[in-house]
Amino acid sequence: MTPEQQQRLDDLLDLWEEAQEAGKDISPESLCEKNPELLPLLKQQIQSLEQIDEVLETRTDALQEDAMGDLPESTINEDLIASIGLTDAQFHAEGALGRVYVAKDKQLNREVAIKFMQKRHMLDRQRRERFCLEAEITSRLYHPGVVPVHGIGETKDGRPFYVMQFVRGETMQQSINQFYEHAPEWGAHRRNLEFRNLLSHFVTVCNTIAYAHNRGIIHRDLKPENVIIGRYGETMVVDWGLAMPVDRDEAARASGEKTLFPSNHEVRQRQATDHGAGTPAYMSPEQAAGQNAMSVSSDVYSLGSILYKILCGKSPVDGISGGLQRIREHIAQGDWPHPRSIDSNCPRPLESICLKAMNLQPSNRYNTALELASEVERYLADEKVKAYDEPPLETPLRFFRQHRRMGQVTIVSVSLLLLVLVWSAVRLGIAARESEVVNKDLLSSAAKLTAVTVQKEMDGRWFLLEKEAGNQKLIQRLVQSQGPLQESNRIPFVDLIQAVKDRATRDGVEAETWFICNASGIQMARFPSAPSIGGMYAHRDYFHGNGIDLEEGEQGSPPHITGEYLSVPYSSSNDKTLKVALTCPIYSHQEGEPERRFLGVLGMSIKLGVFEVLTGNLSEGQIAVLANFGSDHFTGRENKGLLLHHPNLEDWKESNIAKPLPRLDKALLNRLENSSKGFQIADYQDPAARTTKEKGVRWTAAFEHVKFPHQTDWGQDRGWIIIVQRPNRLGGIGIYGAMIVFILITKSICA
């Protein structure tokens, strides 16, 4: 036999023994339905156990012959109960250790319950000790949640029994079953009432167990079947047969209750065969693992399992196949479904309470049963449950539920406010529609005005460059210095570029840099001074005008610009910032003269993102954006639509090019190519938006081309696009939000 088969056989034997102790008859064939190969071995094992039980039964019958004779267990000798002052005994129920009878107390004329130990267990010292311990602990726990014991004794043959109060009612298990059986037929109010009633009984159970814990006693077999609910609301915990004393903690000692020390019972250290005893479906992981050390946290877990049963209608391990060993493994690993995965209507706070009580780690559970009871009471009182992180809206909603009169006043007030808001919204909506046309016209006008302003600004810059390019001192110096930059030439060129910069400043023209290159492309001067002076820049687009920067050392075709020119965006060789350049050729003579020859270029550069002309003359809420309609090659291939100016663009450098540069999308560029006039888009998304909040903003945007008079001479469209945009108004959302909040508050108060 394999180890797996031996384990399975042991589990089947456990199931058979539990059924026998519970008074149920179960056949070997039904047990081996899924494992028919184990049937012969199981029958053999059961036969051996029955032979042992038969021997014990014979010896027990001999001991009981005087008191019980050959009466079946469901009847009782009248002389026996008469000797203790009782009459009219009737069989009531049977458990694992004893049989309960209902009889009449002649002296006080009341019904009582008598629990006798089953005769087949009389010779089992451990079971006998457990039965007597149950009687003693039950009798010494003075609490409304524990059945009062009136007396204890033994029959002539030594069979123990005890007399206790008889409670007419049903078990919590039966109450839970009835709730889930009839809940579909009940209305919401009845279901809620019955459900809260079950929770109230559960709170009473927790308080009873908390009392026992303060006396230093843990139950170890808490389950719905061991809770009796009387006809008049009494809630009592029964069957203390597995109870055992434990060391009391500081809180228990501070409660004022005296420690309960059972007498004449070796219960401080249970035998190995008793470890793991209890009902598997409700036992804690440490109890299922058979650990020696037990504490009140084990009972707290079992209470959580009872709450689980109330929430779901089933135990945490219902549906797990593979026998007792497999169930214990699932419990020890915390492998069971959460309540809301079984019933999505399960209240989230109660699920959180249940999961905390049933935490795999004892230290993470509730410290006491009282804390668990308090949490459920908070839920019943509609207070905040500590184990549950409630959403922000829940706190105000709960406040209105608890103060209904205030909530009613609030509803009336909010209703009136909403009426005013709706009326105002209608009026504002009419006004907004009337002003929308005006706003669109204003936006288009702003875009056209900005485009013209940029055009005039650029024309002024080219005019200045063209005038400075005809400066005779500059021409003479370049005629004399067409080779590499010599040390003797530096100071004259420095003076020349400084003079150009000063005259431009007086004319109100500012630029990032000013530079002069000779006919070979060598940079002869730069303001401000930089290491690039003396370098070769004939490969730059601003020098040759081919619409692309070439590799260093390459020459363009044509080799140099012939008129005013706007370069493609490029990365500065000095500080790696991204720029565009405006350049003008320098010639030795005027156009048409026979000795006219190309001497170099004079230029200025503007850093991307810094176009001061775009920052003024706009209405509140509007922003102006400048985009390059032509091509650039920053990514190694041709791209269009690069943003040159935007409030979000700061110091752009070549090191930032690893991130996608903000560009207009291709669909918009296609529309711009096919449109000679400006247009508007009412649902425009800003490509330079940085944060999630900014990306969620929608804009109304007007687009206009910046027309340059020399644009057709550049061989391709190198123009710019002006975008003036303003955020769309979202005022209606506030009204809708207020209406949603109003509906939620109303629903919560009326719930």
3-class secondary structure, 371: helix
Low-confidence ranges of the chain (pLDDT < 70): 1, 3, 7, 10, 18, 20-24, 48-80, 263-277, 292, 322-323, 400, 402-408, 432, 434, 591-592, 616-617, 650-659, 710-718, 729-751
pLDDT in tens, 43-90: 877 776 665 555 444 444 443 443 333 334 555 666 667 777 788 888
Phi, psi (deg, nearest 5) at residue 617: 60, 35
Q: What tokens does 133 get? A: 């311990």
pLDDT at 58: 46
| CATH 3.40.50.300 holds for 441-731 | no
368, two tokens: 């006491």
Nearest Cα to 114, choosing from 164, 64, 171, 170? 164
Kindly write down the DSSP assignment for every residue of 621-684, as one continuous string.
T-EEEEEE-SEE-TTSS-EE-BEEE-TT----BGGGGGSPPPB--HHHHHHHHT-SS-EEEEEE
Q: Residues 429, 431, 433, CA angle at the centre, nearest 5°?
A: 70
**Residue 687 contacts by C-beta under 8 Å, 6 or more apart in sequence?**
643, 662, 663, 664, 665
Nearest to 294 by CA among 327, 241, 247: 247
Q: Which of 453, 497, 751, 398 is closest to 611 using CA atoms?
A: 453
706 closest CA partner among 628, 615, 616: 628
Residue 74 corresponds to which tokens in the numbers above?
């469901």
- The residues, any chain, with a CB within 8 Å of residue 670's CB and separated by 6 or more, are none
Of 631, 577, 574, nearest to 606 by C-alpha is 577
The whole-number pLDDT of residue 427 equals: 80
Q: State the Cα–Cα distance between residues 475 and 601, nearest whole angstrom.
A: 11
**Residues 515 and 605 sit within 8 Å (Cβ to Cβ):** yes
Contact yes or no for 428/734 (Cβ under 8 A)? no
Q: What is the pLDDT of residue 403?
A: 66
User: Left if phi > 0, otherwise alpha if psi is -120 to 50, otherwise beta: which for 188?
Assistant: alpha
**DSSP strand pairing (98-105 vs 86-94):** antiparallel
Pick from 450, 456, 448, 444: nearest CA to 709: 456
Give me the pLDDT at residue 60, please.
42
> Cβ neighbours of residue 399 under 8 Å, at least 6 residues apart?
none
Put simply, whether the predicted model's pTM sits higher than 0.75 gets the answer no
Instruction: Determine which helix (DSSP H) or strand (DSSP E) holds 112, and give its type and residue range.
Output: strand 110-117
Q: Which tokens go with 610?
A: 């810094």
Pairwise CA distance, residues 543 & 558, whole Å: 10
CB 287 within 8 A of CB 311: no
Contact 339, 308 (CB under 8 A): yes
So what's the pLDDT on residue 733? 44
Nearest to 379 by CA among 249, 562, 198, 515: 198
Instruction: Output the pLDDT for position 513.
Output: 95
For domain 3-165, the CATH class is alpha beta
pLDDT score for 342: 93
pLDDT at 746: 55
pLDDT for the residue numbered 72:
47
| CA–CA distance, 316 with 557 (Å, rounded to integer) | 83
Instruction: State percent of the chain over pLDDT 70.
Output: 83
For the chain, what are the domain ranges? 3-165, 170-390, 441-731
User: Cα(250)–Cα(582) distance, rounded to whole angstroms?
Assistant: 85
Question: Is domain 170-390 given the CATH code 1.10.3330.10 in the classification?
Answer: no
- Residue 527's nearest CA partner among 458, 605, 590 is 605
Helix (H) or strand (E) holding 699, with range, is strand 699-706
Residue 55 has a pLDDT of 45
CA distance 238 to 296: 17
Tell me if 373 sits within 8 A of 380, measured CB to CB. Answer: no
